[in-house]
């Protein structure tokens, strides 16, 4: 198969869809790879490294989109990219369609077969292609939260760790999945007073086993959330219902009962955000203040640490990219229900049930798509 990788164009997005090592593996399987010139610059991989691995370097994104049978990316296609997609072409990348009807419309119009990293599942119900970036974003959430808490950045002016005689900051983490667990781990490591909240008792029990008495766990009732948020210096939003818009757990009214200068880091912003007052921001201008509360809502947090993130993402996506390239999308999705769960758009329709519900579209099931294909 002819596989193409354009350079990412989202604000401060330096990750790239394939590493030279992935290119080499795909070449070993007999596939051809097109890389847009400079696509790997942000991770310190120049054109020569890709060429050495067996890729053909092409001068622009248009050449990639025009020629490739499968496009492998990192972030959701921007409008200019969507317009270059064509019927039957495979798009393998993050999409986060639930809060993004404009992108959904363009993908449906294009006729592309869009497989979203974030809804591919595994046999234990986890999200193996979201997990590596959730690990990064969860760990980063604490460091960006710590910086946002500094007075000059609009924050309360507290140090997460405190010092002898002065208590540490209180951190509330909403959602105890991959982002939440990684955030809690780093916040605990920095000496903060950490509470994690989830609606799954089983997940809270695992977290209790992992971190023992250092971590406070709370079952997610409205009362527990209010209590934790009102007393927190830093709140990290990390809930997810796969494919769906994030539930709004912190309303604008609740901000009035928080401490002025407290910080909200909404990692769930790529699914619309779990704070009512969240709106997507960029690495250029990551924070804004509502009712005295600092909001950090960057939708591509791992893009800031592209060397770590690209290698972590590429090692997770490679087996699936190989499967799609080796067998074609129809056979690959027929034989693997977990990869099939990644199918979001096909035949001009939304295929994932939770995504369709969020967008108010009528779902066309993956089984129907494959039966007709
Ligand atoms: N902004 C960014 O750059 C990035 C954002 N993300 C996003 O972070 C979010 C979290 O991802 P993961 O941790 O991987 O998901 P996950 O599926 O591992 O964890 C989500 C957790 O939320 C819990 N949950 C769901 N609804 C809840 C509710 N109403 N109350 C309490 N808990 C609830 C679930 O039980 C689960 O434990 C996703 O939206 C993901 O796309 C991930 C990576 C980067
Ligand atoms: C998951 C996601 O949105 C990201 O890594 O940018
Ligand atoms: Mg987005």
pLDDT digits (tens, 9 = 90+) for 7-54: 999 999 999 999 999 999 999 999 999 999 999 999 999 999 999 999
Residue with tokens 């105890």: 176
pLDDT digits (tens, 9 = 90+) for 51-68: 999 999 999 999 999 999
Give me ligand 3 centre to Cα 83, in Å: 17
CA distance 336 to 327: 11
Q: Which two tokens stand for residue 250?
A: 């912190």
Domain map (residue ranges) of the chain: 2-119+305-372, 132-299
User: ipTM exceeding 0.95?
Assistant: yes
CA distance 72 to 6: 8
pLDDT digits (tens, 9 = 90+) for 193-232: 999 999 999 999 999 999 999 999 999 999 999 999 999 9
Whole-number pLDDT of residue 347: 94
Domains 2-119+305-372 and 132-299 share a fold: yes
Nearest of 44, 45, 84, 49 to residue 68 by alpha carbon: 84
Catalytic residue among 96, 295, 338, 352: 96
Residue 29 pairs in a beta bridge with none
pLDDT digits (tens, 9 = 90+) for 337-361: 999 999 999 999 999 999 999 999 9
CA distance 181 to 183: 5
Nearest of 348, 350, 346 to residue 361 by alpha carbon: 350
Ligand 1 pocket mutation, candidates 11, 180, 239, 344, criterion most atoms within 8 A of CB = 239
Q: Please determine, looking at this structure, whether the domain spanning 2-119+305-372 carries the CATH number 1.10.1040.10.
A: no
Q: Which two tokens stand for residue 368?
A: 């129907």
- Is 233 tagged catalytic? no
Portion of the chain with pLDDT greater than 90, in percent: 98
Which residues contact ligand 1 via a Cβ below 6 A? 118, 127, 130, 133-134, 137, 175-180, 197-200, 203, 220, 238-241, 246-247, 267-271, 299-302
Cα-trace Rg, the chain: 21
The CATH class of the 132-299 domain is alpha beta
Task: Tell me the pLDDT of the chain averaged across its residues.
Answer: 97
94 CB near ligand 2 (under 6 Å): yes
Number of other CB atoms surrounding residue 30 within 10 Å? 9
Return the residue whose CA atom lies nearest to atom 16 of ligand 1.
Answer: 177
Please say whether the beta carbons of 328 and 336 come within 8 A: no
């Amino acid at each position: 198969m002819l596989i193409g990788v354009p350079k990412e164009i989202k604000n401060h997005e330096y990750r790239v869809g394939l590493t030279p090592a992935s290119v080499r593996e795909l070449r070993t399987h007999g596939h051809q790879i097109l890389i847009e010139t400079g696509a790997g610059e942000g991770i310190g991989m120049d054109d020569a490294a890709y060429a050495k691995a067996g890729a053909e370097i092409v001068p622009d994104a248009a050449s990639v989109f025009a020629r490739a049978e499968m496009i492998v990316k990192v972030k959701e296609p921007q409008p200019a990219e969507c317009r270059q997609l064509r019927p039957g072409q495979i798009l393998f990348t993050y999409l986060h369609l639930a809060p993004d009807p404009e992108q959904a419309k363009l993908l449906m119009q294009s006729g592309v077969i869009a497989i979203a990293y974030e809804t591919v599942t595994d046999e234990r119900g986890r999200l193996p292609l979201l997990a590596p970036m959730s690990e990064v974003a969860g760990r980063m959430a604490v460091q960006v939260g710590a910086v946002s808490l500094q007075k000059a950045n609009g924050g309360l002016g507290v140090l997460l760790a405190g010092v002898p005689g002065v208590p540490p900051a209180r951190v509330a983490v909403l959602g105890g999945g991959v982002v939440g667990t990684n955030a809690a781990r780093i916040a605990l490591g920095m000496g903060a007073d950490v509470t994690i909240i989830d609606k799954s008792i089983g997940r809270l029990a695992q977290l209790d086993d992992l971190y023992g008495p250092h971590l406070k766990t709370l079952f997610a009732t409205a009362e527990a959330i209010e209590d934790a948020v009102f007393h927190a210096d830093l709140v990290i939003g990390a809930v997810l219902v796969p494919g769906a818009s994030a539930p709004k757990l912190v309303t604008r009214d609740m901000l009035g009962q928080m401490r002025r200068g407290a910080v909200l880091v909404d990692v769930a912003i790529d699914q619309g955000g779990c704070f009512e007052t969240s709106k997507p921001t960029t690495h250029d201008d990551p924070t804004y203040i509502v009712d005295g509360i600092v909001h950090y809502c960057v939708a591509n947090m791992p893009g800031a640490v592209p060397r770590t993130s690209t290698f972590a993402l590429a090692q997770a996506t490679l087996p699936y990219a190989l499967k799609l390239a080796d067998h074609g999308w129809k056979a690959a999705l027929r034989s693997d229900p977990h990869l099939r769960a990644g199918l979001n758009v096909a035949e001009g329709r939304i295929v994932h049930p939770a995504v369709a519900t969020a967008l108010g579209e009528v779902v066309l099931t993956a089984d129907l798509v494959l039966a007709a294909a």
